[in-house]
A and B are shown apart, each in its own frame.
Chain A
């Protein structure tokens, strides 16, 4: 296995497109190196993107949107107060992944490209309407996060492409997100259900924009458009929340495995969805109060 750690976009693209045989992008390595250790065949070339400055940046752009480098570790994402103010749900979702040791290395790009149905940060990115900046020698394209994972462990990226960064859209006033997950253990465990909710309110507290994404209840994270529509025009009244919970349940297609049964995943996802909606709503409403 060859290894390189290029410092420019052009060098990363060249390394990916010139590779003689299978090539993998290395970000934090918390999934990839663990897989190597468990016997996964190593690629002929490993391209480390942690020395690439655009993949390490967290910044707010002049239009209010945020750019987060695909190779930023969790500790940098969590420590960014401005990002946490605008996108508390995404910040929390990333922070839930693994131990302090894992947070020192694990990245958003890796969490997405590992393509696990149970990834914590991915529902939060989808509900945030985040796009990824995908680059190759052929140029650049932007893809909504929900289109990246096509099946467990597989993404839509070609071998010569990689994700440089994520773009979170500019925040409307009175909007906020939240992410909740269920794990059998308190720490160091993988979600058996995860829900991200991202809401925008008008100045009287009526929901005008709503996005919901579900994790660990299907082969790929679920962008639950039909469920999110139920919240539109409401102020999260009990009757609306009941219909919302039912629709979330309908959209869950989980499996039963050693970590949970399909029935339990479905039930708990609906409960988490209602709670996450309440948290996102209250955060967005705090904007009205202030």
Chain B
């Protein structure tokens, strides 16, 4: 029997029906057509499906949709303000921090969770924080630089790129 779930998604109330065994990831992608959140491993190892659940960073493949009744869920779709990209998204573009792009939504959500908590992280703190987000293309270096760049922009300083000759 399907369950009826109401939750907040990126600040808006949404409703959907789900099987009790269905994950939040599949509810987002298949029932709510919010396909920004990606499925990688489906077992909590890769972080591609990272979302915020009640202000906590989680893998949506390891959350049942039925657990989300009245939860506050935030996904990559909630980052930009209309056409204006979030500074993290802009920094990922400016630093060429993506290749195939499958890991990018999860990394953006994870990076935002870090910067909300710690606006001025060290490179080491960034690297440990994103240890649960696997990227098989970039080698991580550009991702780390993009996050540090976005942190600087969000603190109100000029972009690292703009400072470079």
Contacts and interface: CB of A to CB of B under 8 A. Distances in A.
For chain A, which range describes its interface: under 10, 10 to 19, 20 to 34, or 35 or more residues?
20 to 34
Nearest to B21: A1
A33 B62 contact: yes
Given A37-B42, A99-B47, A101-B44, A29 B62 contact: yes
A104 B56 contact: yes
Contact of A46 (B20, B129, B132): B20
Contacts of B45: 188
Contacts of B58: 101, 104-105
Contact of B64 (A29, A98, A104): A29
Interface residues of B, number: 28
A160 to B, nearest CB: 21
B98 interface: no
A113 B163 CA distance: 53
A104 B58 CA distance: 6
A5 B67 contact: yes
Interface string A1-16: 1110100000000000
A48 interface: yes
Instruction: Tell me the interface secondary structure of chain B in the complex.
Output: mixed
A2 B131 CA distance: 34
A33 B20 contact: no
A29 B129 CA distance: 21
A38 interface: yes
B50 interface: yes
A33 B66 contact: no
Given A30-B44, A37-B42, A48-B67, A104 B57 contact: yes
Among B3, B20, B62, the most chain A Cβ lie within 10 Å of the Cβ of B62
B104 interface: no
B110 interface: yes
B74 to A, nearest CB: 13
B59 interface: yes
A174 interface: no
Contacts of B47: 99, 101
B23 interface: yes
A50 B56 CA distance: 15
Contacts of A75: 56
B39 to A, nearest CB: 10
Interface in B42-62: 42-45, 47, 50, 53, 56-59, 61-62
Contact of B67 (A2, A50, A100): A50
Nearest to B42: A37
A187 B63 CA distance: 22
B57 A3 contact: no
A186 B128 CA distance: 9
B79 interface: no
A101 B20 contact: no
Contacts of B7: none
B160 interface: no
Contacts of B113: 100
B62 A34 contact: yes
B43 A100 contact: no
A264 interface: no
Closest A-B pairs by Cβ, 6 of them: A99-B132, A187-B131, A3-B20, A34-B43, A104-B56, A101-B59
Interface of A: 1-3, 5, 26, 28-30, 33-34, 36-38, 42, 46, 48, 50, 73, 75, 98-102, 104-105, 186-188
22 contacts: A1-B20, A3-B66, A5-B67, A29-B63, A33-B23, A33-B62, A34-B44, A37-B42, A37-B43, A48-B67, A98-B132, A99-B131, A100-B113, A100-B129, A100-B131, A101-B47, A101-B59, A102-B62, A105-B56, A105-B58, A105-B63, A187-B131
